[in-house]
Amino acid sequence: MKKTLIAVLILAQSLLPVFTAFAQEINKKDAEAIKEKPADVEIDLERLKETAYSLVNKGKFKEAYDLLLKDYPENKDDIEVNFLLGMSTFKLRKFDEAIKYYQIILNKDPDAHRVRLELARAYTANGQMNEAKKEFNAVLATNPPQVV
């Protein structure tokens, strides 16, 4: 039993680079397919968000922004899409646009403390200190958990 387990572990370890390369190739093909999608092909919203999250996590904010805007009219009510657009536009220094996306979310969910803090941060970066202070105070008034 022990020898079989060791053999399986050795085999798994030797195959890890192959699986890693395969996964990277699939992710690359998915991103390319989404980038080059024909107009008549719908992208699954969850796959779109997963790809956008991946791009944001890699610091590819312009790519995430462009990807999300392609289908924004169909996805404008999705909180995650608006949050990803807010994060991306903030990093691209498009503060007015980031503010717009965060406000869309807060209109749907006024208790989204993380979003309210991101909005305050965008206001601060945009030089709108009074608005930023209001948002920070609104979060503090709720006695948020420390992780917020």
pLDDT tens digits, 4-23: 545 434 544 554 454 454 44
Is the pLDDT reported for residue 128 higher than 60? yes
The C-alpha atoms of residue 71 and residue 76 are separated, in whole angstroms, by 8
- Give the whole-number percent of the chain exceeding pLDDT 70: 70
The C-alpha atoms of residue 135 and residue 103 are separated, in whole angstroms, by 11
What is the pLDDT averaged over residues 101-113? 96
Per-residue confidence (pLDDT) for residue 143, from 0 to 100: 86
Is the pLDDT reported for residue 88 higher than 70? yes
Neighbours of 110 (CB within 10 A): 11
pLDDT category at 115 given cuts 50, 70, 90 is: very high
Q: Where are the domains of the chain?
A: 17-140
Q: Please provide the average confidence, as pLDDT, over all residues in the chain.
A: 82
pLDDT tens digits, 21-58: 444 555 555 556 555 554 434 459 999 999 999 999 99
Can you tell me whether residue 1 is helix, strand or coil? coil
Is the pLDDT reported for residue 145 higher than 90? no
Instruction: Concatenate the DSSP letters of all residues of 76-120 into one string.
Output: TT-HHHHHHHHHHHHHTT-HHHHHHHHHHHHHH-TT-HHHHHHHH
- The amino acid at residue 40 is D
Please say whether the structural domain 17-140 has been given the CATH code 1.25.40.10.
yes
> pTM of this prediction?
0.69
The C-alpha atoms of residue 11 and residue 45 are separated, in whole angstroms, by 37
Per-residue confidence (pLDDT) for residue 36, from 0 to 100: 55
Q: Is 38 or 71 the better-scoring residue by pLDDT?
A: 71
pLDDT category at 141 given cuts 50, 70, 90 is: very high
